[in-house]
Amino acid sequence: MLKGKTALVTGSTSGIGLGIAKALAQQGANIVMNGFGDVEAPKAEIAALGVQVAYHGADMSKPAEIEAMMQFAAQQFGGVDILVNNAGIQHVARIENFPAERWDAIIAINLSSAFHATRLALPAMQAANGGKGWGRIINVASVHGLVGSAEKSAYVAAKHGIVGLTKVTALENATSGVTCNAICPGWVLTPLVQKQVDAKAAALHMSNEEATKLLLGEKEPSMQFTTPEELGALAVFLCSEAANNVRGVAWNMDGGWAAQ
């Protein structure tokens, strides 16, 4: 379905971003990967799906590096048809104890980076398809883009912000073939969440299994993690023709978290 298209997925060396990159590659899209840590293993996993893969190590908190990454994508594949703004970090603390430097980093990586990548991707998407436009911008927000939780001020502010950015991006392009939507996962067992399980287990002197149950039980009625594969399938749907008129939604996949 996506053969000949190029998808740039930020933060795709791990977790949800890697799951989405693999799902788009399974549909034939070439992938521009980004993120830190081990690059070779996830790159090989994507290449094994029979598509071309390139990697750029831009730090998403730095606008100049985001510009370099977008130029790199244009040089490698002629442009970006699908932009998935996924890179993100977390820090957990009450507001009065929240380090100002962590606030700035979360707003930069989880929110401002999406603005920069979007503003740089839009002109080519708007010009595509003989000027009628074609493009897909998918912002990986969170259920925390819809509801709050204590001790996550920067994260919840950034994720509510990205849901707002999603709506405005969708509206400004509503008469073109460029759509923008947000995906709002509940708990997904990635390194970002494993750190929170570990912190709970240590603080409450309990096993990993007990801490996991407690974490799910506090928020997620299904008592199940959403998987990167399920989120990848949702991203594929948003890239499909069937989703041509899905614009500005924030679609939660959260085991009933926000339904309460």
Q: How far is the CB of 241 from ligand NAD (least distance, A)?
A: 26
Please list every residue from 108 through 137 that binds ligand NAD, using CB under 6 A. Answer: 109-110
Helix H, strand E, coil C: the string for the chain is CCCCCEEEECCCCCHHHHHHHHHHHHCCCEEEEECCCCCHHHHHHHHCCCCCEEEECCCCCCHHHHHHHHHHHHHHHCCCCEEEECCCCCCCECHHHCCHHHHHHHHHHHHHHHHHHHHHHHHHHHHCCCCCCCEEEEEECCHHHCCCCCCEHHHHHHHHHHHHHHHHHHHHCCCCCEEEEEEEECCECCHHHHHHHHHHHHHCCCCHHHHHHHHHHHHCCCCCCECHHHHHHHHHHHHCHHHCCCCCCEEEECCCHHHC
- Strand duo 178-185 + 82-85: pairing: unpaired
Q: Is 255 in the site for ligand NAD (CB under 6 A)?
A: no
Told to judge if 155 belongs to the known catalytic residues of this protein, a careful annotator would answer yes
Site for ligand NAD contains 250 (CB under 6 A):
no
- DSSP letter assigned to residue 142: -
Closest approach of ligand NAD to the CB of residue 193, in Å: 4
Looking at 66, 70, 80, 140, which residue binds ligand NAD (CB under 6 A)?
Answer: 140
* Least gap, CB of 205 to ligand NAD (angstroms): 24
Q: Which residue, 128 or 219, is less far from ligand NAD as judged by CB?
A: 219
By the rule CB under 6 A, 89 interacts with ligand NAD: yes
CB of 246 to ligand NAD, least distance (A): 19
- x/- map, 28-47, ligand NAD, by CB under 6 A: ------xxxx----------
Stretch that binds ligand NAD, among 55-63, 130-138, 201-209, 233-241 (CB under 6 A): 55-63
| Residue closer to ligand NAD, measured from CB, 14 or 118 | 14
**Nearest Cα to 223, choosing from 255, 188, 185, 189?**
255
Q: Which residue in the list 77, 103, 134, 155 is annotated as catalytic?
A: 155
Q: Which residue in 14, 118, 169, 179 binds ligand NAD (CB under 6 A)?
A: 14
Q: Select the residue interacting with ligand NAD from 68, 92, 147, 193 (CB under 6 A).
A: 193
- Indicate which residues carry an active-site annotation: 155
Return residues touching ligand NAD (CB under 6 A): 11, 13-17, 34-37, 59-61, 86-89, 109-110, 140, 142, 185, 187-188, 190-193
